[in-house]
Amino acid sequence: MKPLRFVVIGLGGYGLVHMDAVKWLAEAGLGRLVGVIALEADRGQRPDLVQSLVKQEVLLYTSFEHFSETGLSTADVLTVPIGINMHVPTSVAGMRAGLHVYCEKPVAATVQEVDQLIA
């Protein structure tokens, strides 16, 4: 089986947890981190991590839109460890782009948003 290619949103909080999970998958030969979507401000707070990612040839994107415009073909899976208010629109955009999406819980703030995600 070919390892799944992951893009994680964020350089902090649960984004770091997701990167650790992908590292575990990489050690098992099941996945690899190919990209991280991170704001410039977040990059400035973790320059050592950014440098490490660059050395690993992990692509860095400044926004989801930047990733959508230039990096969709590099990924199979998008992980969405971001604010609850952004879970549904980001997950829907990822799925519409043909990616598998792993979204943090709760998946949404309302039942209506969950219905939107299911649709």
- How many CB atoms sit inside 10 A of residue 98's CB? 10
How do the pLDDT tens digits run along the chain, 119 residues long?
A: 899 999 999 998 899 999 999 999 999 999 999 999 998 888 999 999 999 999 999 999 999 999 999 999 999 999 999 989 999 999 999 999 999 999 988 899 999 999 988 88
Structure token pair of residue 8: 């994680």
- How many CB atoms sit inside 10 A of residue 45's CB? 12
Q: Do the beta carbons of residue 81 and residue 10 sit within 8 Å?
A: yes
Structure token pair of residue 52: 């490490």
The reported pTM is 0.93
